[in-house]
Chain A
Amino acid sequence: MLPQKAMGATTRSPSVKELSSRLDLLSGGHRLCAGCAESVVVRQVLLAAQYPVVVINATSCLEVATTIYPYTAWRVPWLHSLFENAAATASGVEAAYRALQRRGKVSGEKVAFIVFAGDGGTYDIGLQSLSGALERGHRFLYVCLNNEGYMNTGIQRSSATPLGAHTTTTPAGEVIPGKLQWRKDLTGIIAAHHIPYVAQAALTPQPLTDLTTKVRRALEADGPSFINVYAPCNRGWRFEPADTIKISQLAVETCYWPLFEVVDGQWRLTYTPKEKKPVAQWLEAQGRFRHLLKPGHRHVMEEIQKRVDGEWEALLARTGRAPSKKESAPPPSELPGAPEPAQAPKTDAAPRTASPPQAREAVRADRQEAPCSCGATSAGPRWGCLFCGRTCCSRCTYAPEGLAVCSRCALELFGIVQPPALSSA
């Protein structure tokens, strides 16, 4: 019998004392890097599980580092198939379990099927199979170990990588300041499947049992459940291995990675920082954003702050809590040690990119605003140039991959004379 205590159906928060009395189901001796968040997340998830666990693992750091043949770190049944099909594979395991149970070939006890996959395997290549499995209603908990990039292949950008981050496929260069796009709102996409339980979690001393409580709630759900867990990668993000938890906490305190859950469609914050810290504190702690601290890239930091603020306010609205002044961070220019302004003076506070919903409010407001910097006076959406901040309109904006670059920067930086017109969102 597995060394797991029968704990009954409960969604109460397991105490740390209680968790520490259980046997780790992921043994030591695996080859994950020192300071890696993944093993900590996995151990907490397995410790919190109130039922016997069967793990399905996508190809990932976790998979390669824990199962180098002929060794395995797993004390639970474990299956790895491929990169993009963990949810589909779990569908098969779970369906077989139901069929075998119905035919009396396995015992009737409840089993927790838990999928572990990285953000590459979840946000990108595995999104289709995950979406399909959620729609079909398979009963498993899918845990995304979100380290914001393809770390297993050596730090490439994923759609979870934040704006401005340096990765090996979005290197910070003389012209392009790291990744040019904001991250995908995967947790929102999963919530849109209207499955019983969706949450975002992180390894935080405050609140200490947030993740383990969410795991228990997820495993009680009558259907699929999903937890997007923030998993800092010291190799990819460039910070000291000892700072993994600190970075996690900063992400939570800056509201870059808010802790919340969506239970049967009801959005609820599980933690609200007493004081919302400026996102610069989180950025400055990581080498992948180092280039943003240089003069000339300040607008990217501002953009990140704006995005974070927008998402936080949208989350507050979704959770039934109106945004308040107190919770919005001071603008970066007021921060001590903030970098000098970029070369071009800011002419307005227009959002700098065109795509996400929270930016649309601001775009609409701008319709009544002054003429565009190109001279156009017609009403229409306005954007801010990613590089100089200048206001630009659908006539004069070059829009690579959903971002806005004004015609002057497009010419100077990319040699593009006639920017293609940006369709108004």
Chain B
Amino acid sequence: MSRVVALTGNQAAAEAMRQIRPEVCAAYPITPSTQVMETFAQFVADGIVDTELITVESEHSAMSACVGAAAAGGRAMTATSSQGLALMHEVLYVTSGLRLPVVMAVATRALSAPINIHGDHSDTMGSRDAGWIQLYAEDGQEVYDSLLQAVRIAEHPQVLLPVMVCFDGFTTSHTIERVQFLEDAEVQAFVGEYRPAHPLLDLKRPVTYGPLVLPDYFTEIKRQQREAMSQAPRVIQEVGKAFGDRFGRFYGLFEASHLDDAQVAILIMGSAAGTARGVVEGLRQEGVKAGLLKLRAFRPFPAEELAAALAHLQAVAVLDRADSPGSPGGPLFTDLRAALDGLQARPAVLNYVYGLGGRDILPEDIRRVYQRLLRVAAGEEGDTAVCEYLTLREDPIRLAPVGGA
């Protein structure tokens, strides 16, 4: 039996955490993820979850406490955004390096400066090399479902890596949507019991966690992390299928719309995929062979699978919700270009940066991208592959001349 409720993405995340019932949650408030831990704290206060809630004094300590709790042998979860994720940065590497299956909800948000509390992917893109699995959710339902799956993915013996479930700050974190919840018992049965192989708290078999590793072994340990990450695509798909088999909602590494017979397509992550899907439906009614690929697993990056899914297209536009100044394009773009490199004939690939600091992306913006893709496909425009900003103000702000007058 399931319940359908109207809740924000943050509240959906909190409900998932309550049903997962981790041993420890460590919380520090930051917009726009604050509501996750507020809601969870109320659950604790009301006695409907028996998790140890540690209200730490910083995000650095939040992730540190998760490291301690996970090493101890418990399930550990937290939530954060933006500067909080940046402050956690060095601890993220410890979490993955110690192979601790921590699960974190990230309501994505721009990074300072200038300070901005609204959604983009600058924060999570900054963590893309931290050895965490990153799943991007489009709406509250995906946030909820992905958090439940994240526990199983993270704790899979051939993976043992932390997972962040990323969803767009405000757009998803604060929008009230219809979310279907599972029963507590169903969630418990799905996530199962966590049985760590070498818990710190096994007093009879003392283990040393986090030793100094010099050049003679360090490389091998990093190689094991890559190996674990390479197992993750299979596990993400298995867990997504198992979830679908039980509850009817299937998940994989990405989700394609009208892609099979498409001529051009957009690759996008997060909430804007919904807007893009609407545009594709409209274009299809007009007879345009437009498709959409919504990427769910950014880390591990499913290079082969994406290449196979996009190989038949004439042109693809990658929409990045974060820039990587100085690089050939946004993070999603550079990864995709590398993924397509092995193809005999690859589609033209365009790159747009959009939605920074919560800037709205409207259907007409996405329609403009498809129109350009069609021109590129028709040979009317070249594959310039220059990273462009979508929805940039037409009139740049004019600065007053120095010295007045």
Q: For B55, what are the chain A residues with a Cβ–Cβ distance below 8 Å?
A: 136
- Residue from B71, B76, B98, B207 having most chain A Cβ neighbours under 10 A: B71
B183 at the interface (CB under 8 A from A): no
Partner of B211, one of A68, A90, A99: A68
Q: For A77, what are the chain B residues with a Cβ–Cβ distance below 8 Å?
A: 200-203, 206-207, 209
Q: For B23, what are the chain A residues with a Cβ–Cβ distance below 8 Å?
A: 95-96, 99-100, 103
Over the window 92-104 of chain B, the binary record of Cβ atoms lying under 8 Å from chain A Cβ atoms (1 yes, 0 no) is 0010001000000
Which B residue's beta carbon lies closest to that of A67?
A: B211
Which B residue's beta carbon lies closest to that of A89?
A: B68
B200 touches A95 (CB 8 A): no
In the complex, identify which listed stretch (A80-88, A165-173, A376-384) lies at the interface while the others stay far away: A80-88
B185 at the interface (CB under 8 A from A): no
Which A residue's beta carbon lies closest to that of B212?
A: A64
B214 at the interface (CB under 8 A from A): yes
Partner of B72, one of A57, A76, A93: A93
How many chain A residues touch the partner (CB < 8 A)?
51
Q: For B51, what are the chain A residues with a Cβ–Cβ distance below 8 Å?
A: 99
B210 touches A81 (CB 8 A): yes
Taking the closest CB of chain A, its distance from the CB of B29, in whole angstroms, is 14
The distance in angstroms between the C-alpha atoms of A96 and B57, with both chains bound, is 18
Over the window 1-23 of chain A, the binary record of Cβ atoms lying under 8 Å from chain B Cβ atoms (1 yes, 0 no) is 11000000000000000000000
A79 touches B74 (CB 8 A): no
In the complex, identify which listed stretch (A124-132, A268-276, A296-304) lies at the interface while the others stay far away: A124-132
Taking the closest CB of chain B, its distance from the CB of A375, in whole angstroms, is 45
Taking the closest CB of chain A, its distance from the CB of B223, in whole angstroms, is 15
Known A-B contacts A78-B209, A96-B24, A100-B72; A111 and B214 likewise in contact (beta carbons under 8 Å): no
Taking the closest CB of chain B, its distance from the CB of A224, in whole angstroms, is 14
List A55-113 residues whose CB lies under 8 Å from chain B: 56-57, 63-64, 67-70, 72, 74-82, 84-85, 87-100, 102-103, 105-106, 109, 111
B60 touches A129 (CB 8 A): yes
B208 at the interface (CB under 8 A from A): yes
Over the window 52-87 of chain B, the binary record of Cβ atoms lying under 8 Å from chain A Cβ atoms (1 yes, 0 no) is 101111101110111111111110100000000000
A91 touches B204 (CB 8 A): no
B64 touches A81 (CB 8 A): yes
A56 touches B57 (CB 8 A): no
Which B residue's beta carbon lies closest to that of A87?
A: B61
B260 at the interface (CB under 8 A from A): no
Taking the closest CB of chain A, its distance from the CB of B97, in whole angstroms, is 10
A88 touches B71 (CB 8 A): no
The distance in angstroms between the C-alpha atoms of A72 and B207, with both chains bound, is 9
The A-B contact count (CB < 8 A) is: 168
Q: For A68, what are the chain B residues with a Cβ–Cβ distance below 8 Å?
A: 211-214
The distance in angstroms between the C-alpha atoms of A120 and B393, with both chains bound, is 49
Taking the closest CB of chain B, its distance from the CB of A342, in whole angstroms, is 45
Over the window 262-290 of chain B, the binary record of Cβ atoms lying under 8 Å from chain A Cβ atoms (1 yes, 0 no) is 00000000000000000000000000000
Taking the closest CB of chain B, its distance from the CB of A72, in whole angstroms, is 4
A85 touches B61 (CB 8 A): yes
Partner of B64, one of A67, A70, A92, A106: A92
A92 touches B54 (CB 8 A): yes
The distance in angstroms between the C-alpha atoms of A240 and B57, with both chains bound, is 42
Taking the closest CB of chain B, its distance from the CB of A50, in whole angstroms, is 14
The distance in angstroms between the C-alpha atoms of A90 and B207, with both chains bound, is 16
Q: For A82, what are the chain B residues with a Cβ–Cβ distance below 8 Å?
A: 64, 90-91, 94
Taking the closest CB of chain B, its distance from the CB of A158, in whole angstroms, is 20
Taking the closest CB of chain B, its distance from the CB of A132, in whole angstroms, is 3
A67 touches B208 (CB 8 A): yes
A52 at the interface (CB under 8 A from B): yes
A392 at the interface (CB under 8 A from B): no
Known A-B contacts A63-B212, A92-B68, A93-B68; A128 and B58 likewise in contact (beta carbons under 8 Å): yes
B74 touches A132 (CB 8 A): no
The distance in angstroms between the C-alpha atoms of A87 and B57, with both chains bound, is 11
Taking the closest CB of chain A, its distance from the CB of B291, in whole angstroms, is 45
B207 touches A95 (CB 8 A): no
Q: For A75, what are the chain B residues with a Cβ–Cβ distance below 8 Å?
A: 206
The distance in angstroms between the C-alpha atoms of A89 and B70, with both chains bound, is 10
Partner of B58, one of A1, A80, A129: A129
B13 at the interface (CB under 8 A from A): no
Partner of B65, one of A54, A79, A92: A92
Q: For B70, what are the chain A residues with a Cβ–Cβ distance below 8 Å?
A: 92, 96
Q: For B335, what are the chain A residues with a Cβ–Cβ distance below 8 Å?
A: none
Which B residue's beta carbon lies closest to that of A1?
A: B204
The distance in angstroms between the C-alpha atoms of A99 and B214, with both chains bound, is 35
Known A-B contacts A74-B208, A95-B24; A89 and B67 likewise in contact (beta carbons under 8 Å): yes
Taking the closest CB of chain B, its distance from the CB of A98, in whole angstroms, is 6
B255 at the interface (CB under 8 A from A): no
Which B residue's beta carbon lies closest to that of A102?
A: B50
A99 touches B74 (CB 8 A): yes
- Residue from B51, B60, B206 having most chain A Cβ neighbours under 10 A: B206
- Residue from A80, A88, A103 having most chain B Cβ neighbours under 10 A: A88
Q: For B69, what are the chain A residues with a Cβ–Cβ distance below 8 Å?
A: 92-93, 95-96
Which B residue's beta carbon lies closest to that of A4?
A: B203
Q: For B98, what are the chain A residues with a Cβ–Cβ distance below 8 Å?
A: 81
Q: For A102, what are the chain B residues with a Cβ–Cβ distance below 8 Å?
A: 50
A132 touches B52 (CB 8 A): no
B26 at the interface (CB under 8 A from A): yes
B65 touches A103 (CB 8 A): no
Q: For A129, what are the chain B residues with a Cβ–Cβ distance below 8 Å?
A: 57-58, 60-61, 64
Known A-B contacts A54-B200, A92-B67, A96-B74; A2 and B217 likewise in contact (beta carbons under 8 Å): no
The distance in angstroms between the C-alpha atoms of A133 and B57, with both chains bound, is 8
B68 touches A70 (CB 8 A): no
Q: For A88, what are the chain B residues with a Cβ–Cβ distance below 8 Å?
A: 56, 60-62, 64-65, 68
Taking the closest CB of chain B, its distance from the CB of A30, in whole angstroms, is 11
Sample 15 A-B pairs with CB under 8 A, ordered by A number: A54-B201, A76-B206, A77-B200, A78-B209, A81-B67, A88-B60, A88-B62, A88-B65, A91-B64, A92-B64, A92-B76, A93-B201, A98-B52, A103-B50, A109-B203
Extra pairs beyond A72-B208, A136-B54 (20, CB < 8 Å): A1-B204, A2-B203, A67-B210, A68-B212, A70-B217, A77-B207, A77-B209, A79-B209, A79-B210, A85-B67, A89-B64, A89-B65, A89-B67, A91-B68, A95-B54, A99-B23, A99-B50, A129-B58, A129-B61, A136-B55
Contacts from A to B (Cβ < 8 Å): 1-2, 52, 54, 56-57, 63-64, 67-70, 72, 74-82, 84-85, 87-100, 102-103, 105-106, 109, 111, 128-129, 131-133, 135-136
Top 10 closest pairs, chain A to chain B, by CB: A92-B68, A132-B57, A92-B65, A67-B211, A88-B61, A80-B210, A96-B74, A85-B64, A88-B64, A96-B72
